[in-house]
Amino acid sequence: MSGANKQKAAVRQRKMTKKQFIATYGSLIGLIALIIIITVIRPRFLGGANIRNVLRNASINGLLAVGMTFVVLTGGIDLSVGAIMGCAGMYSAYFAQAVLGYPVIVAVLIGLAVGLAFGLFNGFCIAYLRVPAFVGTLGAMSVADGLKFLLTDAKPIPNLNEEFEFIGGGSIGPIPVPCIIMVIVLIICFVLLYKTRYGRYVFAVGGNQNAAHVSGINTKKIIFSVYILAGVLSALAGIIMTARVTSGVTSTGDGYETDAIAMVVIGGTSLAGGKGRLWGTIVGIMIMQVLSTGLDMLGVNTYYQMLVKGFVVIGAVMLDSLSSD
């Protein structure tokens, strides 16, 4: 049996053409090259403190991209992740105010509940009421923004419980808490996507919803569920971010949905659905974060940074589609 497996592996190795290699590892190679270039110019980039910074930020922003990956794999899109992040952050901040004296878990659960509520809303609209995902989540985005501002008339919420702040700013040993949370989320998501029936169904629904339906899969339930996952993960990101900036701020998450989508597509997940990979999203997250921090450190003019990011996204997708035939 193992002999046969080895043989199979050998076949696989041999069959990998140059194009496939680029499609599979192109973005990873890009990431490594990026890190090398930045480090050569600014050696401090690979300093311990900076690595921690980059990883912590990547962990928080990346949560959105992880949820988005599931949504995009089903052929959907969730434009509301950034707004849910901001809204959930505000509501959890409200309950994390030191003066109120609630236990931290209350604030966290409230935040997650907000994310869950929006996920349910999105999922229901898209899966059962057949609202196109783009439109449904666009609406949810506006609703989340509105609820966020209504809470405090757009005023920030300062003076949060110190234990709450630990979620975003704390470290266990040298490892920032957000990174630990991200690793746990990633492990769960990897198992979910690659080791369970559910994950397979996510791919199947995205690859061909009709065929999945005919094969006895409850496609609506699968679509429903990915928006819930995206909503909850966005809320989690919002809670961590709020804890990190040590106050509830209405600007949190504004525009983050575009970055999240960029991370997902850089990672090689097709917006058409059914095709993609979670580790690719991780590479996408890291590319966006390294670009953001690295270009800042190099003192690259902010307008040029926008150009660079734009071309990276287009370039990555181009590479993917050119090499996928």
When binding is defined by CB under 8 A, the residue of 38, 117, 241, 285 that contacts other proteins is 241
Nearer of residues 61 and 121 to other proteins, judged by Cβ: 61
User: Which residues share a beta bridge with 175?
Assistant: 172
Q: Would you count residue 57 as binding other proteins (CB under 8 A)?
A: yes
Question: Between 257 and 286, how does the x/- string for binding to other proteins read (CB under 8 A)?
Answer: -------------x---xx-----------
Nearer of residues 130 and 302 to other proteins, judged by Cβ: 302
Nearer of residues 121 and 257 to other proteins, judged by Cβ: 257
**CA 124 to CA 224: how far, in whole Å?**
6
Nearer of residues 6 and 8 to other proteins, judged by Cβ: 8
Backbone angles phi, psi at 175, to 5 degrees: -95, 120
Q: Work out the number of other CB atoms within 10 angstroms of the CB of residue 282.
A: 22
CA 106 → CA 84, 146, 152, 239, 325, distances in Å? Answer: 18, 23, 19, 12, 51
Residues of this chain, 146-165, that bind other proteins according to CB under 8 A = 149, 152-158, 162-163
When binding is defined by CB under 8 A, the residue of 181, 186, 204, 239 that contacts other proteins is 204
Question: Between 78 and 107, how does the x/- string for binding to other proteins read (CB under 8 A)?
Answer: ------------------------------
Q: Would you count residue 218 as binding other proteins (CB under 8 A)?
A: yes
Q: Indicate left, alpha or beta for 218 from its phi (over 0: left) and psi (-120 to 50: alpha).
A: beta
Nearer of residues 121 and 273 to other proteins, judged by Cβ: 273
Q: Would you count residue 44 as binding other proteins (CB under 8 A)?
A: yes
Nearer of residues 227 and 309 to other proteins, judged by Cβ: 309
Which of 160, 161, 156, 168 minimizes the C-alpha distance to 250?
A: 156
Q: Would you count residue 249 as binding other proteins (CB under 8 A)?
A: yes
CA 281 → CA 42, 171, 186, 260, distances in Å? Answer: 26, 25, 11, 9
Q: Would you count residue 247 as binding other proteins (CB under 8 A)?
A: yes
Question: Between 281 and 320, how does the x/- string for binding to other proteins read (CB under 8 A)?
Answer: -----------xx--xx-x--xx-x---------------
Residue 299's identity, in one-letter code, is G
Both tokens of residue 27? 């973005």
Cα 199 off chain centre by: 17
Q: Would you count residue 33 as binding other proteins (CB under 8 A)?
A: no
Which of 165, 153, 183, 180 minimizes the C-alpha distance to 107?
A: 165
State in angstroms the smallest separation of the CB of 214 from other proteins.
5
Q: Would you count residue 169 as binding other proteins (CB under 8 A)?
A: yes
- Report yes or no: 247 and 156 within 8 Å, Cβ to Cβ: yes
**CA 83 to CA 139: how far, in whole Å?**
11
- Report yes or no: 210 and 220 within 8 Å, Cβ to Cβ: no
- Report yes or no: 223 and 126 within 8 Å, Cβ to Cβ: yes
Nearer of residues 12 and 130 to other proteins, judged by Cβ: 12
Both tokens of residue 270? 């097709």
The contact set with other proteins (CB under 8 A) reads 8, 11-12, 15, 17, 42, 44, 47, 49-50, 53, 57, 60, 149, 152-158, 162-163, 166, 169-170, 195-201, 203-204, 207-208, 210-218, 241, 244-247, 249-252, 254-255, 270, 274-275, 292-293, 296-297, 299, 302-303, 305
